[in-house]
Amino acid sequence: MCGRFTLTVDPAQLQDAYPGTEFPPQFAPRFNIAPTQPVLAIPNDGQNRADFFVWGLIPSWAKDPSIGNRLINARGETLAEKPSFRGVYKYKRCLVLADGFYEWKTQPGTKVKIPHFIHMKDRQPFAFAGLWDKWNSPDGSQIRSCTIVTTEPNELMASIHNRMPVILPHDAYAKWLDTAPQTPDSLGALIKPYPAGEMTAHPVSTLVNNPKNDLAECVVPA
């Protein structure tokens, strides 16, 4: 799964990484992004613009927005089967922007879980495969929300956890953000582990266990 991540780069660096995409003029670095909080994403709405979405998918048909608390991740193997994800997998996909994420490794023979920070070896930003939707509140307001797609772990992640987020390579962005409806056959090849050789991980402080601790110290090696 993916339950916490970071986005610490400045807007100019993101602009270089995603040319042609419009970004908010400024935003604060985030070292401990948690579910239900705003995440920066690029939706396939044809606008080429990044915006903030609530992390936790609220399907357009939902009666209660609290369903989003249970839909922070979407299992890649069953996207085409689950009612909550089937429609948005076909029509509403997004890139969720990050430069690292956390996962917790259970110590053998104990219930102790040690948080690890995972990032690219070159420390460049990257994008999770995401799905998004719009939910209209009875009061007339609208919430745009998203979920992060997960898959089986690569060799690096397998030593930490049994799942990992789907990280898309740059050459897959155009396909994932295509505004045309897609089929599981056309997208299925993108739902796979990212190459382990390009990633690295290290244990970090349990500071990250509390989402209130949005601090640079969260990513420092323990």
CA separation for the pair 31, 207 (Å, rounded):
11
pLDDT band at 25 (very low <50, low <70, confident <90, very high): confident
Query: What pLDDT does residue 186 have?
Result: 95
pLDDT for 162 equals 96
d(CA 202, CA 16): 27
First to last CA, the chain: 22
What Rg do the C-alpha atoms of the chain give, in angstroms? 17
State the DSSP code for 163: -
For 68, the token pair is 């989003």
Instruction: Give the tens place of pLDDT for each residue, 78-115.
Output: 999 999 999 999 999 999 999 999 999 998 888 899 99
Whole-number pLDDT of residue 92: 98
pLDDT band of 53, cuts 50, 70, 90: very high
Residue pLDDT, tens place only, 138-187: 888 999 999 999 999 999 999 999 999 999 999 999 999 999 999 999 99
In this prediction, residue 26 has a pLDDT band, given cuts at 50, 70 and 90, of confident
CA distance 144 to 211: 21
Q: What is the mean pLDDT of residues 61-87?
A: 96
Distance separating alpha carbons of residues 33 and 25, to the nearest angstrom: 20
Positions annotated as catalytic residues are 2, 103
What is the residue whose two structure tokens read 């606008």? 47
130 with 98: CB under 8 angstroms? no
Q: What domains does the chain contain, in order, with CATH numbers?
A: 4-219 (3.90.1680.10)
- Report strand pairing: 142-151 vs 73-75: parallel
pLDDT tops 90 at residue 10: no
Which among 210, 221, 80, 98 has a CA at the least distance from the CA of 164?
A: 98
Give pLDDT, residue 41: 98
Q: How confident is the model at residue 206 (pLDDT cuts 50, 70, 90)?
A: very high
If you average pLDDT over every residue of the chain, what do you get? 96
Helix-, strand-, coil-residue percentages of the chain, each rounded to 5: 25, 35, 40
The values of phi and psi at residue 216, to 5°, are -60, -25
